[in-house]
Structures are given as structure tokens and as C-alpha cells.
Amino acid sequence: MLPLPPSLYPSLIAALLYAVATLIQGLRLSRGARADKRLICALGVVAVIAHSVALGSQLLTSHGLNLDFITAASLIAAAVIALTLLACASLPVETLLVLIYPLGLVTAMVAQFAPPGTVPRIDEEPGILSHILLSILAYGLFTMAVVQALLLLVQNHQLKHKHPTGLIRAFPPLQTMESLLFGFLWAGWIFLSASLLSGWLFLENMFAQHLVHKTLLSCLAWVVFAVLLWGRHRLGWRGHKAIRWTLAGFCLLMLAYFGSKLVREYILHI
């Protein structure tokens, strides 16, 4: 009988807690009641700890750091949830958790049971690890921004048509939602800038054949977010225009990382 992988039980615990927290919050919001912030955050903290324990054994191998497509997705999901929980301490962003917790549930389970991709292990050099950490933080913050943008889109639509549902009635005011969106965008853009700079400093060649698509798409995403932030500051961009630019930049960023990894690991097998 094969021994059970050490990440199995932490992954199951994390998935269960994410599911329970999502169900509790979803039921309350559907009735127009405010989320029980303490309860869903407490469940989320324990879930992220269990998720992190599982990721520890999945990432750290005897051959180096394993960052295949699925494990990287699980790591970014855990980072997104952890960042959102930290933000909940001072900002009214607990509504985001009803959409982000299921992301953690799915990625924790898929990372546990799906076959690994054919990606080489990464040597744990400090410069490379700093680049990876900055990239994960940038992706995490932009994921929070795009979830916020989608919620803002729904809120805009329902307020415009004067039929807000229970979920929308639990949201903060529209101006607060927009301010939170641009706060996430500014933080994500700063970390993306630092990530690109660290890549130039610590990677041997960012335009090598296996990195060129990622580099170009990441730079395009950086430009899109820079234009959006400039437009907000100088031209007062908001509403649908801000949401469209946010989604465009996010799609470029996800193609840069996950698109290239998916093709390399599961299609080309390189």
C-alpha cells in the first residue's frame, strides 16, 4: 500500500473550510444581510494555513522548487486569499471572499490530485526567488482588482436598473468600491514593476525563447495598467472604462504567465 502524500489532509481541510465559509457568506448575502466578518475571516485564516502547509510539500522537493502550472495556480490562489484577509483588517473587502474562497477550494484540490506538469525544477537562488515572490504578489493584487472590478460592474448595472439584489445591498457605496479598485491596481502595478525589474536583474535572458512571450505580454500588461492609472489621475476615468481597462490588463497578465505555462507543460511538454 502506497503511503499517503503529506499534503493530502491539509488540502482536504483547506477545501472543506473554504466551502463552509463560502456557503455561510453566500447564504447571508443572498438574504441581504452583511457577512459575518469575524467568522468567515477566522475560517479563511485556518484554511489558508492548511493550504500553505499542503503547498509547502508540493513546492519544495529534493530537486528544487516545483512551480508547474497547477501548483503555481494554487500558490497564487492562496496568496490572493491571504492578501484579501489582510486587507479585511482595515478595508470593507470581505465581499470579495465569496468569489475568492471557491478559487482556493478548486486549486487546492486540483493541485493535490492532478498529474504534475513537465516543468523543470527551479534552483532556489535568492534573486530568482525574489522575482517569483514579487510576481506572485503582483498577480495576487491584480486578481483582487479584477474581482473587485467584476463586482463593481454588477453593482453599476443593478443600481442603474434600480433592482439591487441582496448581494448588492451588502456592498459598500459605489465610490468606496471604485477607490478600493484603484488601490488594488496601484499596489499591483508597483509590484509588477518591481517584478519586471528583478527579472532584468536576476534572469540571464528575459527574451530567451521560453520567456519571450511571457516578457512581452507582461510588459504590455504593465503599459495597459500604467495608462489606466494615468487616465484615472489626469482624466478621471471611472465606471465601465476603468473596468474594461482592468480586464484587458489582467487578461494579458494571465496569458503571460498561465498561458505560456499551459502550452509549455501540457501541449509542448517542454
- Cβ distance 50 to 10 under 8 Å? yes
Question: Cβ neighbours of residue 117 under 8 Å, at least 6 residues apart?
Answer: 68, 69, 70, 261, 265, 266
What's the whole-model pTM score? Answer: 0.81
- Mean pLDDT across the stretch 128-150? 87
CA within 13 Å, CB half, 209: 2
pLDDT of residue 118: 55
Q: In the prediction, which pLDDT does 90 show?
A: 84
Cα–Cα dist 138/113, whole Å:
27
Q: Residue 263's pLDDT is what?
A: 56
Q: What is the pLDDT of residue 117?
A: 57
The answer, yes or no, to whether residue 71 has pLDDT greater than 80, is yes
Q: In this predicted model, which residue has the larger pLDDT, 32 or 153?
A: 153
Sign of the torsion angle spanned by Cα atoms 48, 54, 58, 62: positive
Per-residue pLDDT tens over the stretch 155-212: 887 777 666 655 666 677 778 888 889 999 999 999 999 999 988 887 766 666 556 7
Is pLDDT of 70 > 70? yes
Arithmetic mean of pLDDT over the chain: 83
For residue 64, list its beta bridge partners.
61
pLDDT at 207: 61
Spans of all domains in the chain: 1-122, 125-270
Q: How far apart are CA 111 and CA 170, in angstroms?
A: 33
User: Is 129 in contact with 60 (CB distance < 8 Å)?
Assistant: no
**pLDDT recorded at residue 191:** 93
Question: In sequence order, what are the beta bridge partners of 65?
Answer: 60, 122
What confidence tens digit (pLDDT) does each residue in 242-270 have?
A: 999 999 999 998 888 776 555 555 555 55
Please, which residues have CB within 8 angstroms of residue 48's CB and are 6 or more apart in sequence?
Answer: 14, 78, 81, 82, 85, 104
Q: How confident is the model at residue 206, as a pLDDT?
A: 63
Question: Which region holds residue 236: left if phi is over 0, alpha if psi is between -120 and 50, else beta?
Answer: left
The confidence score (pLDDT) of residue 121 equals 56
Strand ranges for the chain from DSSP E: 60-61, 64-65
Q: Any idea what the Cα angle at residue 147 is, between residues 249 and 116, rounded to 5°? A: 80
